[in-house]
Structure 1
Amino acid sequence: MIRILVASVVLAAGGAWAGLDEAPTRGDDAAVQTSQGSTVAGAPYTVVHRTLRTGVVVDQYVDGTGRVFALAWSGPFKPNLKRLLGRHFEAYRARGAARHGGPHSRLAVDTGEAVVVSEGHMGAFQGRAWLPSRLPAGFDTREMK
């Protein structure tokens, strides 16, 4: 029942777009698909899979309350992390996001509320972000694509 409710909220948003820890809102810059999942502990969640016009793919993991608890991205460009991370962006930036490490960079930042792992090089970027306190029981962040 929760899965159906969350899917309804996401689909009713018509191309829902939300930052980390936000509820989906309208967006017009992506092709959107949704799918249902559940953790090994049986906690349900919805994945909102969007392909942006830039070719960047963003997966948003939405819990039963309709809020994004994790996200993953990959593509030829870095996505707009300010938009993806929402209110968590400034803490991410303040904790080292400005550092660059040559032609291939990897950055892992734990702000205390959010964890962001971003890596890549020109033409191939990927990353993941999640809220440890909001992860459903049994959710494995290593399996985020």
Structure 2
Amino acid sequence: MLVVAAASLATVAPAYAGLGGAPTYPVTASSTSAGAASVGGSAVARFAASANAASSAYTVSQTTLPSGTVVNEYIAAGNTVFALSWEGPTMPPLNTLLATYFPSYVQGLTDAHAAQGGGYGAAVVHQSALVVETGGHMGAFAGRAYLPQALPQGVSADDIK
């Protein structure tokens, strides 16, 4: 069941870049101040804020999707997304956000589902190159994804919120 749900997300939005590449959504504010912009006449807000003082090696770009789901892209020097987090009433387009890692995510879900003997629950994939944790219920979804090997020096998985 989880695999079907994950695969159905594959038709939600076109791919631009994503995890391991350039930010999926354009960053329209400076990295030191928050701002918003209207995109294509829609009420899609885009924000960029400095990362915490412990690690100035990355920026967090926050995007509110038309559904109301908020997506945070953690961007390292060199404009590479090394982590994502999301929270909102709908799941974000994981096929777009995970980009080339999406097939690994789907395979990880398949393997985890088989190991659990079926059933429902949080979708968690822990691989050496990819970690995806997502859960929630209808109207309230949250999750995060990151590339363990791409975390900037001084940044831990606990910093991805």
TM-score normalised by the shorter chain: which range applies?
Answer: 0.7 to 0.9
- 1:34 paired to 2:33: no
- 1:19 paired to 2:33: no
- 1:121 paired to 2:123: no
- Residues 65-115 of structure 1: per-residue CA shift (max 9 Å, x gap): 11000010000011111011000001110111694744xx31220233110
Amino acid at match of 2:140: A
User: What's 2:68 paired with?
Assistant: 55
Q: Check 1:96–1:26 CA distance in 2 against 1; reply closer, same or farther (3 A cut).
A: closer
The structure whose Rg is larger is 2
Query: Is there any run of 5+ residues in structure 2 with no aligned partner, and where?
Result: 1-15, 27-38
Query: What secondary structure, in the 3-state scheme, does the structure 1 residue paired with 2:71 have?
Result: strand
Of the three residues 75, 85, 106, the one matched with 1:93 is: 106
- Residues 8-57 of structure 1: per-residue CA shift (max 9 Å, x gap): xxxxxxxxx741011136655731110112563x4521100010100000
Q: Percent identity?
A: 39
Query: Is there any run of 5+ residues in structure 1 with no aligned partner, and where?
Result: 1-16
RMSD, aligned α-carbons: 2.3
Q: Going by fraction, where is strand more abundant, 1 or 2? A: 1
State the TM-score, normalizing by the size of structure 1. 0.76
How many residue pairs were aligned? Answer: 126
Query: What secondary structure, in the 3-state scheme, does the structure 2 residue paired with 1:73 have?
Result: strand
> Residues 114 and 132 of structure 1 are in contact (CA less than 8 Å); yes or no, is this contact kept in structure 2?
yes
> Residues 71 and 129 of structure 1 are in contact (CA less than 8 Å); yes or no, is this contact kept in structure 2?
yes
Q: Check 1:37–1:106 CA distance in 2 against 1; reply closer, same or farther (3 A cut).
A: same
> Residues 18 and 24 of structure 2 are in contact (CA less than 8 Å); yes or no, is this contact kept in structure 1?
no
